[in-house]
Structure 1
């Protein structure tokens, strides 16, 4: 199937007003050609979150990821600076590092070509007699890497606007939480059998909480108090008041930044294309998504605590409780989102109308239409 048919249906859906909005058509989730369009126009162009800077604390700390088929190493170099490098050896093109850890140098497991943490070639066995070989001419390509509010982002696009400028409105929106000081306590990778947009949309809306998460966070979520403002060019968000299922869901007694209702208000942020953050007064958790085909998504999943809870004598208990809760929530979300993908592949599948509580999904739909098909979005000015 050509990507033109799903794209045409997507553009039609994007043109509808919000009061008559419908979900994205099934084709944009299951069509291989449309995914190729997304990789080219979205994932190869945008900033992708790979985790928290606090997880790469010491020189040599590294993690690996893949963006639009480009393997990448993100590390803390010997000078203490964050750096991203191509994770492909310049000899026979093997990938170099796997997973995460700490390394004094980058050693290829194929022929032991060895690189310094800045990407320069340190050594290449049995190459001295090779005519034309010059060690100094070899250096792993640098990938753009920036830190913003404690998050690490990478992009393959040398012309992309800086993360700080792009997400400045987000920074202003959640400044009172002090998100930059939250500490990541765990980070994992998973692969689920669903489309990346299905999972992104699931994270963007809380309409499903009372049903999908009836055994965990659902009973503590007040949908009648949810606020879903119109989105912005680079992100959408909504607020929800929770009677926290964990003590860390509300502000710590030592937290003097948050007052009144903010001490129990959760922000749910969707930073396009696929960095999804639940930010509570005491903890955060996040997903960063990358497609592995129309029907699979690679998930970077992590979470951590605010400084007040990290300083609490019971910090280890809080981390354990948070991890247990989020593992249960993820299990519930996996079941829901994999069912959606199975359903949308059916011949009878048809996108239905969105609830007013799914405003972020409408904004995300228009973002996808803009990036893949040139749809012109409209946004209200601050004065309107």
Structure 2
């Protein structure tokens, strides 16, 4: 009975989202508070989004050598992505086939995948190579053990994985975005830092915060806010798999504009930033000189795990002042993140209020409207 009640509660919220999405954008409102606080709604997201959609796990360039690996999580499924001996990226289940321990943590380089529990060990292709003392068991056949493969594709230098064998290829889903941002050459941007954090907020509150720039002048008044011109921001309608908007600004750092050696960008594009929200959880700020990104993973309704990284366009990496540019970028982003954390944690406290009520969206929150419609469409599937 409890499970049925939860299903009804989740479906009621999905219906409310669908109703909101049927409004024209001129009359659009924020999402209902319960979509951020309901465990039943999160269960729907885990079932229909995280178990089915493509999800980014990082930059391909950090896995440069055979044996380089990174780990991630798709819902309840631990994943490892490794560069094999042939130089190919492979994604596999990160769970031992013996007693089901998680195999690897974090990032690093390995010659074999060794289970920390009983030392069963696997090659970079996932094939079991060794299992101590198991040759004493007549029914054991080492050749029958291989870590299950997980779909893995690359787009613009990013690694994506999915558990859905029927999902359309990433490059097809993001074909329009590829065309929109082609002059930036994001594939060649170099990651220079990476961190992981956990914040006390709902994952969608953080995603929405990234998607809109309406908050910049106030929340980021001590950092990037004064350099952002709201009247010049463009927020076009989103697409099925992503939304985006443009900001033309006078950069607070030299790396915010195109490097003199950058011949890809011309005119106002040399100082235009693209804000990209690739559903469900990959968020990228792409400027002519640098990029930074967030990849989100809910840990319950009130906590979100964040993969946070960034780096420079190739011209700035090659510049003699590259180290100084990297340091200044990280300092700026740390300050911006601190401001964002205060903002999104305050919103999460607010959505619990008995008198909380969603208000109308501004024209600069078009991405939030599109995000809500995406959720309603995906979560409404039977």
- Whether TM-score is above 0.5 comes out as yes
Q: Which residue of 1 aligns with 2:39?
A: 32
- 1:199 pairs, out of 179, 182, 206, with 206
Secondary structure in 1 aligned to 2:135?
coil
Counterpart selection for 1:153 from 160, 165, 171: 160
Structure 1 residues 80-95: aligned runs within 5 Å: 80-95=87-102
Structure 1 position 190, deviation (Å): 1.1
Identify the match of residue 275 of structure 1 among 268, 282, 289. Answer: 282
1:119-176 C-alpha deviation (Å, 9 max, x unpaired):
0001000111112100000000011001111011011111111011110100000001
- CA root-mean-square deviation: 1.0
**Residue of structure 2 aligned with 1:315, choices 322, 325, 328:** 322
Moved over 3 A (4+): none
Alignment partner of 2:161: what SS? Answer: strand
Q: Structure 1 length as normaliser, TM-score?
A: 0.96
8 Å CA contact retained: 1:51, 1:187: no
Work out whether residues 75 and 83 of structure 1, in 8 Å CA contact, stay in contact via their aligned partners in 2. yes
DSSP-derived class of the 1:369 partner = helix
Question: Deviations for 1:86-117, whole angstroms, at most 9, x for unmatched residues?
Answer: 00000000000001111111111100001111
Q: 1:121 aligns with which of 123, 128, 131?
A: 128
User: Offset of 1:53 from its aligned partner?
Assistant: 0.7
Deviations 1:289-348 (A, max 9, x none): 111111111111110111100100111111111111111111111110010011001111
Q: Tell me which residue corresponds to 1:4.
A: 11
1:347 paired to 2:354: yes
TM-score by length of 2: 0.97
**Aligned residue runs from structure 1 range 259-274, under 5 A:** 259-274=266-281
Give 1:374 shift.
Answer: 4.4
CA distance in 2, matches of 1:72, 1:186: 22
Question: May I ask how many residue pairs the two structures share in their alignment?
Answer: 375
In the alignment, structure 1 residue 360 sits paired with structure 2 residue 367 = yes
Q: Which residue of 1 aligns with 2:83?
A: 76
After the TM superposition, which residues 1-384 of structure 1 pair with which residues of structure 2 at under 5 Å, given as runs? 1=6, 2-374=9-381
Q: 1:68 to 1:109 in 2, by over 3 A?
A: same
Paired with 2:110 and 2:323, the residues of 1 have a C-alpha distance of 27
SS for the counterpart of 1:184 is strand
Aligned residues of 1:251 and 1:258 also touching (Cα < 8 A): yes
Hey, what's the Cα distance between the residues in 1 that align with 2:127 and 2:347? 46
SS in 1 for 2:134: coil
